[in-house]
């Protein structure tokens, strides 16, 4: 997944340039009509517009707070997956042994059991991140043309789940998992069945089995929390109305702003006619700035609605999962050449 991109003002302006151009066209047309045609009567007072602007600011603030909470909660969930995964890897390596075995096995056999459990956990993370990347009908931010210009595609869009799962699980496990709707849940079931089998054979002490089952329970909890954010969008009534309210304010703003600047220009014209007559054109940059601020804040809120969609500002679940995989496989003692590298960085954004 993509770690948050550090936008500069220049990049932010480029990201919103199409809307900014639209604002410029709107205000230039209004100023031209007001200046060259006698429509000075066509205006609205500041009071109702200020009430609308206040309401829009509150709604945008509410949306931005709510979407930031969704992003931060998603990041905490995957931070929990990091910690729990490391705990699982440590428990498996230390708790699978011949100490209570009915029939002692060679170290190579035990190491193979540990590797199978560890690799299946990596497969679980792989299945979960692929599930989080499946596009939902309400996830449309990535389709915006200014987002597509960066050509930032998460790894899950470049590879299939089947391809990514096969290196980590056996053919029997692969067949079992692919026949289930919720593949990450199926993998945790396989983990539990495997641990139960090892417990019955004495390779996992009963108390250790309970500890490992508690870790699986925590993984189920974290998975469920992640799925909850993915499958329940930011309420559409807030997101849709917020955008409508913003555009109502932006489209009505010239009707109050232009007459105000025209009055100020008329006062200046008594002492300086040239500046006074041109003062109304100062409405253009002021309007564009105000409209840009309101629109950009509203768009930032929309960008954060879905923290697993795959845009540049989402939670970096692919990077997190790959980092866990590297840790677990290094602790298994695997050679550095056999362990995959972290995903590449593009435009200062980690994949």
pLDDT band at 120 (very low <50, low <70, confident <90, very high): very high
Q: Which residue in 172, 175, 148, 150 sits closest to 162, CA to CA?
A: 175
Give the model's pLDDT for residue 5.
45
Give the model's pLDDT for residue 96.
92
Residue 237's φ and ψ, nearest 5 degrees, are -65, -35
For residue 58, tell me if it sits in a domain. yes
Cα separation, 306 vs 308, in Å, equals: 6
Predicted structure pTM score: 0.84
Q: How many domains does the chain have?
A: 1
Instruction: Provide the residue count of the chain.
Output: 351
SS3 state at 202 = coil
321 pLDDT more than 90: yes
Residue range of the domain that includes 36: 9-350
pLDDT band at 150 (very low <50, low <70, confident <90, very high): low
**127, two tokens:** 């299945």
Cα separation, 324 vs 126, in Å, equals: 11
Q: Return the bridge partners of 345, or none.
A: 350
**Residue 276 near residue 269, CB atoms below 8 Å:** yes
Give the model's pLDDT for residue 4.
41
282 pLDDT more than 60: yes
Please compute the mean of the pLDDT values over residues 174-192 and round it to a whole number.
96
- As a whole number, the mean pLDDT across the chain is 87
Give the model's pLDDT for residue 347.
59
pLDDT band at 182 (very low <50, low <70, confident <90, very high): very high
57 pLDDT more than 60: yes
**Residue 275 near residue 268, CB atoms below 8 Å:** yes
196 pLDDT more than 90: yes
**Residue 158 near residue 312, CB atoms below 8 Å:** no
Give the model's pLDDT for residue 148.
67
For residue 1, tell me if it sits in a domain. no
202 pLDDT more than 70: yes
**280, two tokens:** 């109304």
pLDDT band at 177 (very low <50, low <70, confident <90, very high): very high
Give the model's pLDDT for residue 2.
42
Give the model's pLDDT for residue 343.
85
Query: How crowded is residue 62: how many other Cβ atoms within 10 Å of its Cβ?
Result: 13
**196, two tokens:** 């139960």
For residue 2, tell me if it sits in a domain. no
Per the model's pLDDT, the better-predicted residue between 219 and 45 turns out to be 219
Q: Return the bridge partners of 349, or none.
A: 346
1 pLDDT more than 70: no
Give the model's pLDDT for residue 126.
96
For residue 263, tell me if it sits in a domain. yes
Residue 324 CB burial class (10 angstroms; 0-12, 13-18, ≥19): buried
Please compute the mean of the pLDDT values over residues 7-13 and round it to a whole number.
67
Cα separation, 322 vs 335, in Å, equals: 16
């Amino acid at each position: 997944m993509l770690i948050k991109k550090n936008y500069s003002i220049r990049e932010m302006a480029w990201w919103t340039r199409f809307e900014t151009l639209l604002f410029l066209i709107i205000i230039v047309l209004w100023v031209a009509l007001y200046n060259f045609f006698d429509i000075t009567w066509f205006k609205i007072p500041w009071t109702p517009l200020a009430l609308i602007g206040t309401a829009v600011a509150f709604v945008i603030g509410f949306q931005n707070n709510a979407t930031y909470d969704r992003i931060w909660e998603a990041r905490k969930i995957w931070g929990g997956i990091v910690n729990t995964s490391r705990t699982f890897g440590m428990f498996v390596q230390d708790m699978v042994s011949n100490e209570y075995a009915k029939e002692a096995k060679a170290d190579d056999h035990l190491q193979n059991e540990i590797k199978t459990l560890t690799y299946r956990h990596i497969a679980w993370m792989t299945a979960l991140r692929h599930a989080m990347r499946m596009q939902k009908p309400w996830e449309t931010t990535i389709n915006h043309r200014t987002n597509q210009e960066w050509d930032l595609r998460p790894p899950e869009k470049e590879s299939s789940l089947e391809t990514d799962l096969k290196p980590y699980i056996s053919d029997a496990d692969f067949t079992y998992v692919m026949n289930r709707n919720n593949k990450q849940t199926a993998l945790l079931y396989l983990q539990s069945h495997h641990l139960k089998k090892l417990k019955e054979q004495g390779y996992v002490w009963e108390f250790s089995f309970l500890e490992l089952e508690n870790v699986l329970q925590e993984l189920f909890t974290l998975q469920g929390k992640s799925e909850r954010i993915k499958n329940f969008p930011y309420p559409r009534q807030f997101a849709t109305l917020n955008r409508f309210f913003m555009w109502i304010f932006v489209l009505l703003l010239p009707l109050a702003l232009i007459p105000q600047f025209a009055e100020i220009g008329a006062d200046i014209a008594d002492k300086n006619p040239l500046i006074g007559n041109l003062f109304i054109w100062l409405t253009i940059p002021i309007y564009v700035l105000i409209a840009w601020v309101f629109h950009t804040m509203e768009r930032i809120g929309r960008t954060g609605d879905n923290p697993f969609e795959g845009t540049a500002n989402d939670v970096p679940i692919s990077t997190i999962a790959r980092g866990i995989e590297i840790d677990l496989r290094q602790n298994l003692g695997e050679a550095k050449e056999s362990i995959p590298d972290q995903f590449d960085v593009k435009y200062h954004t980690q994949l």
